[in-house]
Amino acid sequence: MTTKSDVLIIGGGPVGLSCAYYLLKSGRKVTLLDAKEIGKGSGSGNAGHIVPSHIIPLAAPGVVTSALKWMLDPAHSPFGMKVSLDPNYILWLLKFVLACNDGNVQRSIKPLNDLGQLSAKNFAQIIAEEKFDCSYQEKGLLFLYKTEKAFHDGRHEGEFMQKHGIPVSVYDKAKIHEVEPAALDDIIGGVHFTGDSHLNPAVFLKLLSDRVRAMGAEMLENTPVTGFESAGGKVKVVRTSAGAFEAEHVILAAGALSSSVARDLKLNIPIQPARGYSMTMSATKTMPSHALILGERRIAVSPMGGILRFTGRLEVGNYSMEPNPVWLERIENSAREYLRLDEKLDVKETWAGLRPTTPDGMPIIGRSPKHNNLIFATGHAMLGLSLGPGTGQVVAELINGKETAFDLRPLSLERF
């Protein structure tokens, strides 16, 4: 039996749910399916940072050199990679290395800035309109530094961001301890991206999922896609474990699994998983007052009401979602280098999730070059939550034949 749908969304994470929300608001009928539980995948355990300040892509000058240096210090390295002879993986690595140049940064700044600013605006609007209680705070993102070199590099990056309209404040040692009392005495300075915000991602996604369901979406959990049938430049049938679907429009928002889900479509979707970790604990006696990045260690810190979360590590090519206890311990140890923490933390949850990473560090948003009813909304790396509402809006505009909020051509699959 084949079910007919208006818009079929594959993937129930931050991006898929955001697409559903904006399509439903525009009057479309939506079927949303996920291979596991909707709203409880990799987006739920992340740092919860909403960061329009992140306009520099993952593939940038100096990244390869830094990664090699980090790998010589495995006890503290924020970066890791799987050793594999898989041709697709090796090709992805080669493309990533070649993309780590200034030209890629210059090409990426405007689309990442446009998408980031739109998403930040949409987050504030959704949370206000829907009255979501998800520990949302517009207090910026504060980077803490222990060494002169890292502080110098942080200030330099902040100056670069300011030239592109990102609000930045730089704090000396006296000011940083006034602003963030949880910082240890040897923190020498900080850079504050004051236009950023943060929330509890699991709570936000649960509220958004409930709202999307209440708006009339058909929600199918534990329903993996098993294949596609294409003809005449269209996706004709999407086969799933729950039966076949014929949809006017299909949105691929399957995150790190997008390439494997779409293998029948014979498209080059160059996405590799990048595993990250988080640990969540009860509030500490001296809670950080801001969302933080611990500069030299690249650890994200997120106060979320009565809980505190540390997030870190980027392991390219690893599909496992099993948290590695060695790395969780190292993340905690790194956090203790910067923050006043209780002697024993009351850890409530440990997590590992997969970020869908493209070779140039930008998402893939736009129509398929071979199927006029297939739209990609994937490849957001660590920014799937942060860029979800903006992606949802432009995908809805695309499907409804409207002019999109900004030019999507730099984000198309055809750039590869």
Please answer whether residues 16 and 43 qualify as being in contact, where contact means their C-beta atoms are separated by less than 8 angstroms.
Answer: no
Predicted pLDDT at 157? 96
Predicted pLDDT at 85? 85
Please answer whether residues 320 and 274 qualify as being in contact, where contact means their C-beta atoms are separated by less than 8 angstroms.
Answer: no
Please answer whether residues 389 and 117 qualify as being in contact, where contact means their C-beta atoms are separated by less than 8 angstroms.
Answer: no
Please answer whether residues 303 and 128 qualify as being in contact, where contact means their C-beta atoms are separated by less than 8 angstroms.
Answer: no
- Tell me phi and psi for residue 122, to 5 degrees: -70, -35
Q: Tell me the pLDDT tens digit for each residue of 72-106.
A: 777 777 888 877 888 999 999 999 999 999 999 99
Please answer whether residues 230 and 371 qualify as being in contact, where contact means their C-beta atoms are separated by less than 8 angstroms.
Answer: yes
Whether pTM exceeds 0.75? yes
Predicted pLDDT at 407? 98
Please answer whether residues 108 and 55 qualify as being in contact, where contact means their C-beta atoms are separated by less than 8 angstroms.
Answer: yes
Predicted pLDDT at 140? 98
Predicted pLDDT at 169? 98
pLDDT in tens, the chain (416 residues): 799 999 999 999 999 999 999 999 999 999 999 999 999 988 899 999 999 999 999 999 998 888 778 777 777 778 888 778 889 999 999 999 999 999 999 999 999 999 999 999 999 999 999 999 999 999 999 999 999 999 999 999 999 999 999 999 999 999 999 999 999 999 999 999 999 999 999 999 999 999 999 999 999 999 999 999 999 999 999 999 999 999 999 999 999 999 999 999 999 999 999 999 999 999 999 999 999 999 999 999 999 999 999 999 999 988 888 888 999 999 999 999 999 999 999 999 999 999 999 999 999 999 999 999 999 999 999 999 999 999 999 999 999 999 999 999 999 999 99
Predicted pLDDT at 49? 98
Predicted pLDDT at 77? 77
3-state secondary structure 136-178: CECCCEEEEECCHHHHHHHHHHHHHHHCCCCCEEEECHHHHHH
Predicted pLDDT at 129? 98
Rounded CA separation 192/337 (Å) = 19
First to last CA, the chain: 37
Please answer whether residues 251 and 31 qualify as being in contact, where contact means their C-beta atoms are separated by less than 8 angstroms.
Answer: no
Rounded CA separation 357/355 (Å) = 6
